[in-house]
Homo-oligomer: A and B are copies of this chain.
């Protein structure tokens, strides 16, 4: 008998790579932070022993979900301003609230609330874009969730920095700050074409190449962005950005609801990823991302929730479902983004976009043990013809029973285990922020 740190026996194991595979009555063997074996449960019981065994008789294991676009701390603005278009939502509500309230303690508290919500829906890694990266990284490391800190770049001042020079300075300092944090990486995060100058984009492109870091960018989010760019620069944003060197394999084009065939071909040729945030695009009336066309062009598609202020949750189970359903009507093709493809986008797609696909995104020997377990025994999932179909089209996030990151169980039978994620404390902190903000 071989010793293991923990063993998870499950009714179904869905590795995602290879796509569509469903293993029945299999077990995952975990040693330290890695998956070291995947085999039939009968063989696992004969070959391995561990003091920590999970017997998940009604559950499917999937790779932990990768939320590829979030503004975690904005959870404290959830439901503050609804039913408004993108620009008035930003200019009249969100930016004023941010300028008044965003601070290190806001980021600490909001990020904690967000991490708790994400772990409770099976998300094990998130790609964030916000301010006060040190506080954010510290909280992720304490909570035990994997994340990438988006290093913000903007032309205008915020509570975090006075202008582009200071954003870059703080970004570079942050790369150094996280160098010994095993769970946290960093991404350059120029906010959007309409808030970042060509000079800053050029600098981002240069630093991204130098440090081999992904670039997260709101790109072609709405028609208005395109129209404004044509007015101001004479060209669509993507064409303008091409000149700055930013359209490359490190780019994560977030939202991307507006796209010509040529623009799609260019993204595909560059090896860039697209990050789909369907619910934010719907709720803010930003538009419909052409997922079917992007799939046909072979572009890697990831899924993100966007911030809870626009969406209004960080529920990757729901986002995956919306993505799968919406793609069909937009493409006028009910085969677009199938259940398997949606699950792939929500796991491996995100891992690829983050350049972490050698480490996470699928349940494979040698990868980190980032895993979610979903209880499929509820009557809402019956009859069980196909677990992948039920997970994408019928499950809701409350059925996620367990979440592990790097082998550590952070959600156990729906209970958060991290000391820094006490549920009643989080609710009470959120209420205190509401009392301040709602005034």
Contact = CB atoms under 8 A, between A and B. Distances in A.
A397 B334 CA distance: 26
Query: What range describes how many residues of A lie at the interface?
Result: 35 or more
A28 interface: no
Contact of A82 (B116, B389, B397): B389
A285 B328 contact: yes
Contact of A287 (B120, B284, B329): B329
B379 A427 contact: yes
A208 B353 CA distance: 57
Contacts of A381: 78
A430 interface: yes
B431 A281 contact: no
A378 B104 CA distance: 25
Nearest to A281: B329
A272 B228 CA distance: 42
A376 to B, nearest CB: 10
Secondary structure at the A interface, as helix, strand, loop or mixed, is helix
A286 B329 contact: yes
A329 B282 contact: yes
How many chain copies does the complex carry? Answer: 2
Nearest to A385: B79
Contacts of A285: 328-329, 331-334, 336
Interface stretch (A127-135, A211-219, A310-318): A310-318
Interface string A375-391: 00101111111100110
Interface in A415-435: 423, 426-427, 430-431, 433-434
B334 A434 contact: no
Which of the listed residues A333, A335, A382 has the most CB atoms from chain B within 10 Å of its own CB?
Answer: A382
B394 A79 contact: yes
Interface stretch (A7-15, A83-91, A363-371): A83-91
Given A83-B335, A379-B426, A379-B430, 19 more contacts: A78-B381, A78-B382, A79-B384, A79-B389, A84-B334, A84-B335, A117-B380, A282-B328, A283-B324, A283-B393, A285-B332, A287-B329, A287-B332, A312-B390, A322-B325, A379-B427, A382-B434, A383-B430, A383-B438
14 contacts: A76-B383, A116-B379, A117-B380, A281-B329, A283-B334, A285-B329, A285-B332, A287-B329, A288-B329, A312-B393, A315-B396, A318-B318, A382-B427, A396-B398
